[in-house]
Structure 1
Amino acid sequence: MAANRTISPWCSRDPFNTAPDPDLKYCLQDDDSTSHEWIPQAMTGVSDARDNELYGAAGNIQLFASYDNNDPGRDNNKDKYGDCTEAEAKKRDSCNQKGIRITFVQSRTNPATGSPEVKYRHVLLGWTFINSANHVSFDGVHSAEGDPDADPDKFMQNGVHAGGMVWYGNFLYVADTRNGIRVFDMEKIMDLDPDGDGKAGDTMGKDGADDKTTTANVEDKSKVGRHDNVWYSYGYRYVMPQVAAWKFRAAQKNPTAQADKYKCATTGRPKASYLSLDRSTRPDRLLLGEYCRPAGSTTYPSTGRIASYPVAELEGRTNDVKAEGWANYLPLATGGAQGAVAHDGTLYVNESKGTDEPSNLWRYQWVGGELSAGGRAPIKTATGAEDLYYERGAGRLWSASEHWEGAVNAKLAEDGKPEGCLTGPTSAHICQRVLYAHKLSWVNSQP
């Protein structure tokens, strides 16, 4: 995979404020750091994927997932493209609702210069289906809930938030909040621009069903999937297809009203808000947990459940897989768990505290049948801390900060221009979005 973007380690962006600095901080390019369209959530990496932390010969790989929060090129949905003309939609990524993308990040040595560098590449996730011409095609990953034709901005992301994911073997498991887990295949990534020139017309081979030769078009950003024997991908070079799904069997008891969207039932189907992998157990286990905000509700008092599944059974079975281990309610008074990961019997949980103060990183252990912090206070960490991922060899606990804050020049984005970072005395909270890692040994040493 050809990486085309560059990370700056230890730039001046600082979502930590009064919280302790991390062991490592990765700063994305400005348009990713300030984007209010793509919001980062989940994290995983090659340490989850392989026991030896290598995918082939490649190591030092992290992945994060982002959801398409809104489309700044579209003020309304009066027609197919909102405020964008058809010509604008072909050129501007922000005119179209694209669903979910993942980003591969790798620290490596530049083969040409011999210097260290950190590069990254965005990859679109695709939901595969058979189209009306009986050909395999794909769309962006959206939820099946709601009515996307009536109001795409309101309904399309009601369910698929990419709040958690785990890379295990060749598969990528992605949380689908209301439904379960979607499964994508690393070995089936499509390259729609194999010569790397950014132009349309690359040959993609023949369709086995009707022997038709297909081509690709990465210049037209208004289309996705196969149309008249041409593959489109909203302009993305790489697309990773969905190949399976695990759906919850329990009855849906969570509220569906918009006002109650962060409340959770105490029984029945859970929400798949975040995922992680525990390789310190035998067998390896996939953790799944809920983001809940009870807000004093007596009907929905849950602060969030968390449970685990033997991941090998998710790989090889087609019938039910029961939740086991860590099945408990999180001891958070107001909820708000954004991510959790377990290692050597300790559960680490990121609790968000809004957009203007550091998040909490909690440490829990299983005591007397319940999760307990054992009197330890939470560790302050980045504002807007999200999902958690443990890199075993380096001993690092990774996360991402999600907030872009409010001082980006939104008018530039609305006009389809680079958003950029503002400067000046009022810009202290600009470009705050980073990937970061704390040493687990440091985390465990805190009182």
Structure 2
Amino acid sequence: MAEPGMAPIDKARFALRRETGDLPEAAAKLAEEIGSTAVEAVVAQANRTAVRRGATAALGSMSPRPAEWYAFDDGDQETTDWYPQGLTGSEDSGSIGVPVFMVSWYFKPAAGERGIRITFLSPRTLRYRHALLVAARPDGGYGPIDIHAGGIACFGDLLYVADTVRGLRVFDLGNLLDLRTAQNDLGDPERVGRHGGKFHAFGYRYIIPQTDHWQVAAAGPRFSFVGLDRTGDTPLLITGEYREGDPLGWVGRWPLDLAGGEPADAFTMGRPKIQGALSQGDTWYLSQAGPSSTTNGKLVVHSGEESRTRPFPIGPEDLTVQGGKLWSVTEFKNKRTVFGVAL
């Protein structure tokens, strides 16, 4: 029996309202004290090395293999504390001067919360570095953000991060802060925030404070992933909902300025376990997880009335387009890659 395809639904229930509050003022205060830097500088100071075509266990039974993939280093492969989720890149941004992928990770342990982080990975050098996303306070302090960060998209300097029950958090990459400009060391690796006149970020050199928030206006809709469609005259921000065993998870597209808060359109996706969604005009790409951490996922492609599936690795997550390829990231231990396939 064929699985149902995508179907349009009422878009009004997915409306967002802007809840900026004092976020930009708090972030600006931190930037004034610490000093901001650029993504290009973070990439130049990368302190970890990815492996081209490593972690082949992530591919499972996939055939043909991806056109290209990069595996995180042994420490990031083996940890059970951090799990990669969201993916975007310099091509989405349009204003970053070097090729780079950005990956969001969430901290899984229930105790000792360390929030969410972003990885800046250079496909040219295979070098990468993590930065901590933080919530700044008007008093000059800051702390970790305890969310899943299941998807990210970047446009210009703005990084949109999915907050499952609250909508979209926004971070300004122009406020990417380097703790080394404010002090000689990186502080206590077990602490975060300002303590004793010093800045701490669990040992990370770079922090990025939140600057805006788009809150879901009605209770119920969940925001699991984020993507960007740049194929039309007006770029569209895409977000939607993962559902474990239900094919009626939703996906919607907003004009990039989010004016009015209501999406331009919304659909049910017709498949369960969708971890990422991306449109290229009228063609949709859905990243579907398998039933376990040892089972391959699928790439679902909807175009018009046609729906088909293509091979995908184990544990596929969020989606982005860069260099003419469709890219995703895989999440499971010892199977963590950023990989690209033909559109």
TM range (shorter): 0.7 to 0.9
Equivalent residue, structure 2, for 1:63: 102
Aligned 8 A contact 2:187 2:198 in 1: no
Higher strand share: 2
Q: Give 1:173's match in structure 2, choosing from 147, 151, 160.
A: 160
Q: Which deviations, in whole Å up to 9, do the C-alpha atoms of 1:273-295 show, x marking residues without a partner?
A: 000000012210000110012x4
Aligned 8 A contact 1:217 1:235 in 2: no
Deviation at 1:219, TM superposition (A): 3.8
Q: Give 1:337's match in structure 2, choosing from 274, 296, 302.
A: 274
Say if 1:189 and 1:351 are closer, same or farther in 2 by CA, change over 3 A: same
Equivalent residue, structure 2, for 1:234: 202
Q: Which deviations, in whole Å up to 9, do the C-alpha atoms of 1:178-209 show, x marking residues without a partner?
A: 00000001011111124xxxxxxxxx2xxxxx
TM-score, scaled relative to structure 1: 0.64
- 1:386 is aligned to 2:317: yes
Deviation at 1:245, TM superposition (A): 0.3
Deviation at 1:59, TM superposition (A): 2.4
Q: How many Å separate the matches in 2 of 1:162 and 1:324?
A: 23
Q: Which deviations, in whole Å up to 9, do the C-alpha atoms of 1:298-317 show, x marking residues without a partner?
A: xxx66201111101x23xx5
Deviation at 1:228, TM superposition (A): 3.2
Equivalent residue, structure 1, for 2:142: 138
Aligned 8 A contact 1:303 1:336 in 2: no
Aligned 8 A contact 1:216 1:230 in 2: no
Greater relative CO (CA pairs within 8 A, separation 6+): 2
The letter of the residue matching 2:268 is: Y
Q: How many Å separate the matches in 2 of 1:366 and 1:163?
A: 27
Q: Which deviations, in whole Å up to 9, do the C-alpha atoms of 1:308-357 show, x marking residues without a partner?
A: 1101x23xx5xx411112x111111xx10000111132100011012121
Equivalent residue, structure 2, for 1:288: 239
The letter of the residue matching 2:279 is: A
Q: Which deviations, in whole Å up to 9, do the C-alpha atoms of 1:2-34 show, x marking residues without a partner?
A: 111111112353311221210001011101012
Q: Give 1:22's match in structure 2, choosing from 66, 86, 103.
A: 66
Q: How many Å separate the matches in 2 of 1:277 and 1:248?
A: 19
Q: Give 1:37's match in structure 2, choosing from 81, 88, 98.
A: 81
Equivalent residue, structure 1, for 2:12: none
The answer for unaligned runs of 5 or more in structure 1 is 72-76, 78-95, 109-116, 143-159, 195-203, 205-214, 254-269, 296-300, 405-430, 441-447
- 1:402 is aligned to 2:331: yes
Where do 1:81-230 residues align within 5 Å? 96-108=112-124, 117-130=125-138, 135-142=139-146, 160-194=147-181, 204=182, 215=183, 217-230=185-198
The letter of the residue matching 1:248 is: V
TM-score, scaled relative to structure 2: 0.83
Q: How many Å separate the matches in 2 of 1:355 and 1:165?
A: 22
The letter of the residue matching 2:200 is: Y
Q: How many Å separate the matches in 2 of 1:43 and 1:439?
A: 17
Q: How many Å separate the matches in 1 of 2:122 and 2:242?
A: 29
Q: How many Å separate the matches in 1 of 2:283 and 2:293?
A: 27
Deviation at 1:221, TM superposition (A): 1.5
Q: How many Å separate the matches in 1 of 2:161 and 2:249?
A: 19
Aligned 8 A contact 1:216 1:231 in 2: no
Q: Give 1:306's match in structure 2, choosing from 227, 251, 262.
A: 251
Aligned 8 A contact 2:134 2:145 in 1: yes
Aligned 8 A contact 1:41 1:164 in 2: yes
Q: Give 2:264's match in structure 1, choosing from 324, 335, 353.
A: 324
The percent identity for this pair of structures is 30
The number of residues matched between the two structures is: 298
Aligned 8 A contact 1:306 1:330 in 2: yes
Give the 3-state SS of the residue equivalent to 1:193 in structure 2: helix
Give the 3-state SS of the residue equivalent to 2:299 in structure 1: strand
Q: Which deviations, in whole Å up to 9, do the C-alpha atoms of 1:362-415 show, x marking residues without a partner?
A: 001244xxxx51xx3x11211111111111xx21111111111xxxxxxxxxxx
Give the 3-state SS of the residue equivalent to 1:48 in structure 2: helix
Equivalent residue, structure 1, for 2:283: 346
Q: How many Å separate the matches in 2 of 1:246 and 1:10?
A: 37
Deviation at 1:165, TM superposition (A): 0.6
Equivalent residue, structure 2, for 1:46: 90
Question: Highest CA radius of gyration, 1 or 2?
Answer: 1
